[in-house]
Amino acid sequence: MPSVCWLVPRVTQVMIAKLFYFLLISAVALPTKAEEGCHQLRSTAPFKIALFADLHFGEDAWTHWGPLQDVKSIKVMSSVLDDETPDFVIYLGDVITANNIAIKNASLYWDQAVSPTRARGIPWASVFGNHDDAAFVWPIEWFSSPGIPEIRCRVANSSCSGEEECHFEGTQRLELMKNEIERNTLSYSRYGPKELWPSISNYVLQLLSSDNPKSPVALLYFLDSGGGSYPEIISSAQAEWFRQKALEINPDSRVPEIIFWHIPSRAYKKAAPWFGIHKPCMGSINKERVATQEAEMGIMKLLVERPSAKAIFVGHNHGLDWCCPYEKLWLCFARHTGYGGYGNWDRGARIVEITEQPFSVKSWIRMEDGSVHSEVVLSP
Ligand SMILES: *[C@@H]1O[C@H](CO)[C@@H](O)[C@H](O)[C@H]1NC(C)=O
Ligand SMILES: *[C@@H]1O[C@H](CO)[C@@H](O)[C@H](O)[C@H]1NC(C)=O
């Protein structure tokens, strides 16, 4: 599997420049997509990433409030994007609540979730969460007197058997990813190496210095932490893929590495603050226990041993938004961005800012109402 990396001209904040960027992306970046290439980080400005976690589009899609809450999630994303004007967005899993989606093609909801980012011409990448390809769960209320909402069982084409389509199998990870990648030139998501399937969102993107395109500023690793159609886990095969990839593209551990996946690893439990959040941890909500992956199969051991691995970012726990040090790493939660999913904590997004010279990683949380809090320096 070739390493994935290609050039992205940096988005400027001016509308005209955005249009120009759009043309560039389609004229230059798109044809190279299958090849090696690199995200380009302009050295004169920091590279800013917004993390959108746990949007849960499509939740209770058959009710009145389900679709309304998706509209609210679009507002959260729009407000964060307009306040921060990030260079890149990462969809950190649970983009949709597939177990509630009673249509065959869940990509239609996925597509709504990426629409605010796409509309602003901002490139993005995504990883899977445990809800993205979860099997449909029949709501118990469908078996009460109002019954199954009528629109949900579409009459099949008259050319077909005439049976009604009343089974909702959900859309597989691979299909979701294909639909995202094929329809969106701004998407930098990948299917990952076939050997790792059914775990799909395993890939790495290189941020290149605009001064010296030969020298990566940072490596962004994306891993699929499972859940939904298979266990909540990062397998030893994924850990081995990471090990080999790191050996291949960063053998001397010179380039800083930042890691993104959805479900916290068990190490998060060890790093978690007790009750209030005290320094060196930083954050604003610590309202539930860490819900971790089912087992640890080696990825954490590799990461703690790498001086270049700086921080891991996860979603999954809507009631946690802290960053805490763990060995030489930082373990961070994103911030619940969507109105879908459990919990009524105010919505927002974690921002990650990478500066090239001198290298630093800073992070803070931008809320829907525009306020900012919990700024923390994660590196050096
Ligand atoms: C599912 O939806 C996506 C996104 O709108 C679309 O690109 C794709 O063609 C659809 N697939 C099917 C089988 O309808
Ligand atoms: C219905 O049938 C027509 C041809 O008979 C086909 O073009 C179309 O894609 C079908 N639609 C669905 C939803 O299966």
pLDDT digits (tens, 9 = 90+) for 171-217: 999 999 999 999 999 999 999 999 999 999 999 999 988 777 778 89
Structure tokens at 255: 């380039």
Ligand 1: which atom is nearest the Cα of residue 110? 4
CA distance linking residue 327 with residue 280, whole number of Å: 13
Cβ(157) – ligand 2 distance below 6 Å: yes
Ligand 1: which atom is nearest the Cα of residue 182? 7
Instruction: Summarize pLDDT for 313-330 with one digit per residue, the tens.
Output: 999 999 999 999 999 999
Cβ(112) – ligand 1 distance below 6 Å: no
Cβ(161) – ligand 2 distance below 6 Å: no
Cα-Cα-Cα-Cα dihedral sign, residues 154, 156, 157, 158: negative
Q: Identify the CA nearest to 284 among candidates 257, 328, 339, 321.
A: 321
**Domains of the chain and CATH, by start:** 10-379 (3.60.21.10)
Query: How much is the mean pLDDT over the chain?
Result: 86
- Structure confidence at residue 203 (pLDDT): 96
**In a mutational test of the pocket of ligand 2, which residue from 157, 163, 165 has the highest number of ligand atoms less than 8 Å from its CB?**
157
Q: Do 96 and 109 touch, CB atoms closer than 8 A?
A: yes
Nearest CA residue ID for atom 3, ligand 2:
157
Cβ(179) – ligand 1 distance below 6 Å: yes
What does the pLDDT average to over 90-106? 92
Ligand 2 geometric centre to CA of 48 (Å): 44
- Structure confidence at residue 176 (pLDDT): 96
Looking at the CA of 113, name the nearest ligand.
1
Q: Among the listed ranges 147-156, 165-174, 181-190, 304-313, which one has the minimum average pLDDT value?
A: 147-156
Cβ(317) – ligand 1 distance below 6 Å: no
- Per cent of the chain over pLDDT 70 is 82
Q: Do 53 and 337 touch, CB atoms closer than 8 A?
A: yes
| Backbone dihedral region for residue 323 (phi beyond 0: left; psi -120 to 50: alpha; all else: beta) | beta
Looking at the CA of 103, name the nearest ligand.
1
CA distance linking residue 36 with residue 6, whole number of Å: 6
Give the residue with greater pLDDT, 40 vs 151: 151
State the pLDDT confidence band at 271, using cuts at 50, 70 and 90: very high
pLDDT higher than 90, residue 136: no
State the pLDDT confidence band at 147, using cuts at 50, 70 and 90: low
What values do phi and psi take at 93, rounded to 5?
95, 160
Question: What DSSP state is assigned to residue 25?
Answer: I
pLDDT higher than 90, residue 159: no
pLDDT higher than 50, residue 345: yes
CA distance linking residue 277 with residue 374, whole number of Å: 10
Looking at the CA of 109, name the nearest ligand.
1
- Structure confidence at residue 190 (pLDDT): 94
Ligand 1 geometric centre to CA of 129 (Å): 20
What values do phi and psi take at 109, rounded to 5?
-80, -40
- Structure confidence at residue 379 (pLDDT): 87
Ligand 1 geometric centre to CA of 179 (Å): 6
Cβ(158) – ligand 2 distance below 6 Å: no
Looking at the CA of 158, name the nearest ligand.
2
State the pLDDT confidence band at 91, using cuts at 50, 70 and 90: very high
Instruction: Summarize pLDDT for 14-49 with one digit per residue, the tens.
Output: 333 333 333 333 323 332 333 334 444 444 479 999
Instruction: Summarize pLDDT for 47-76 with one digit per residue, the tens.
Output: 999 999 999 999 998 888 889 999 999 999
State the pLDDT confidence band at 155, using cuts at 50, 70 and 90: low
State the pLDDT confidence band at 225, using cuts at 50, 70 and 90: very high
Nearest CA residue ID for atom 12, ligand 1:
105
Task: Tell me the β-bridge partners of 211.
Answer: none
Q: Max CA-CA distance within the chain? A: 67
Q: Among the listed ranges 16-20, 76-80, 93-97, 271-275, which one has the minimum average pLDDT value?
A: 16-20
Ligand 2 geometric centre to CA of 268 (Å): 49
Q: Among the listed ranges 9-23, 157-171, 319-333, 355-369, which one has the minimum average pLDDT value?
A: 9-23
What does the pLDDT average to over 102-120? 94
- Structure confidence at residue 290 (pLDDT): 98
